[in-house]
Structure 1
Amino acid sequence: MVEASDLELVERTLEGEHHAFEVLVRRWERPIFSLAYRLSGSDEDARDVCQETFLAAFRHLKSFRGEAKFSSWLYRIALNAWHSRQRRQPAESLSLEEQAETRGFDPPDTDNALDERLLRDERAQLVRRALAALPAEMRQVIVMKEYEGLKFHEIAEVLGIPVSTVKTRLYTGLTLLRRRLEGLGFSPGKE
């Protein structure tokens, strides 16, 4: 059953073979969790979004018509789950700049392997913060393209927008991301 296509697994699930849906979950759990984590920046939120995604997918499996790829349909559900969580959670009390000032970003002076790892972790955290500060429509395009490796047409299908809009959101989002990082004293190309 593992070799079956997503569409075949959907059909089998609808015929009552619930094990087929378990195969779909195992197949798509990691990509959906990854998307949710990169959007939320929180392991707990990502787990919740992932769980909500698969519950909603199972409940609404009859509505999947196969016109789009199953993965596109599932990503759409995950984005909706993430948006719902965003609306329910209170906004951050500190701006991105205030968070950076509070935390600081001073690279260590030594070449120690531990220091290098800490520096990489600090950079990754700054990128996550800057990404989280972007408008949702830009953030989700950046995450799907740069982190999840989706193609422009796949992102357009998931979001239900033209490819040109995907490209515009990606370019604008990356430009804003670079500016935010530079404003924090971090340049993506800087070593």
Structure 2
Amino acid sequence: MTDQLGWQGENQPMAEASDLELVERAQGGETRAFEALVRRWERPIFSLAYRLVGSDEDARDVCQETFLAAFHNLRSFRGEAKFSSWLYRIALNACHSRQRRQSAEQVSLEEQAEARGFDPPDPAAGADEQVLRDERARLVRRALAALPPDMRQVIVMKEYEGLKFHEIADALGIPVSTVKTRLYTGLTLLRRRLEGLGLLASSDKE
């Protein structure tokens, strides 16, 4: 298999290998290949989880659960979808499980929004700037948390994580048309909530 793909064994730089190449190497028992996948995708997965579950600690747990599940189920990956889409789906399932546990503990996303910002803290920002960012982030988070989960997911994946429509569709297992509908409807509702919170000027109103 390695000869067919043009690998040169241990000499193949991990950073230059595609996701599919790394997956196939990991499926063949090469631990370093899976470690390379983790390094490549841990930041995007953490970012997605942070924006969906609302806290640094929970996002780290989701991230760990995602890669553990991916490792244990790696042999089931057949390349029918992109590895990233497969991984995002695992992460979304982990987020769902985390949110269900939060609901059972009666900790709502809106309550978490009061204590956490929407984006991970920026160590380069000054104190005053960070305070303003945190306040605005809390309000955005509060508005987003009030949306239906299916719309919130699509908005986070498209507007914050920069995924393409077909990537979101693959990760969620839904048609692209449904992704677009959820995005449009969700953004419309979000805009109204942000207007109500005073984050959008009157000139921005439709």
Q: Provide the residue aligned with 2:169 in structure 1.
A: 156
The amino acid across from 1:169 in the alignment is R
Identity %: 81
Report the TM-score when normalising by structure 1: 0.84
> How has the CA–CA distance of structure 1 residues 7 and 189 changed in structure 2, closer, same or farther, with 3 Å as cutoff?
farther
1:84 corresponds to 2:84: no
Q: 3-state DSSP class of the match of 1:2?
A: helix
> How has the CA–CA distance of structure 1 residues 117 and 12 changed in structure 2, closer, same or farther, with 3 Å as cutoff?
closer
Q: Provide the residue aligned with 1:138 in structure 2.
A: 151
Task: Indicate the RMSD between aligned Cα atoms, in angstroms.
Answer: 2.4
Alignment partner of 1:184 out of 170, 193, 197: 197
> How has the CA–CA distance of structure 1 residues 116 and 89 changed in structure 2, closer, same or farther, with 3 Å as cutoff?
closer
Q: Provide the residue aligned with 1:108 in structure 2.
A: none
Pairing 1:32-47 to 2, within 5 Å after superposition: 32-47=45-60
> How has the CA–CA distance of structure 1 residues 46 and 94 changed in structure 2, closer, same or farther, with 3 Å as cutoff?
closer
Q: Which has the higher contact order (CA 8 A, sep 6+)?
A: 1
Q: 1:40 touches 1:132 (CA, 8 Å); kept in 2?
A: no
Q: Could you give the per-residue CA deviations for residues 99-120 of structure 1, whole angstroms, max 9, x where no partner exists?
A: 98xxxxxxxxxxxx86555333
Report the TM-score when normalising by structure 2: 0.78
> How has the CA–CA distance of structure 1 residues 117 and 48 changed in structure 2, closer, same or farther, with 3 Å as cutoff?
closer
Please give the alpha-carbon distance, in whole angstroms, between the structure 2 residues aligned to 1:93 and 1:38: 14
- What runs of 5+ residues in structure 1 fail to find an aligned partner? 101-112
Aligned residues: 177
- What runs of 5+ residues in structure 2 fail to find an aligned partner? 1-13, 115-125
Please give the alpha-carbon distance, in whole angstroms, between the structure 2 residues aligned to 1:93 and 1:136: 13
Please give the alpha-carbon distance, in whole angstroms, between the structure 2 residues aligned to 1:65 and 1:94: 35
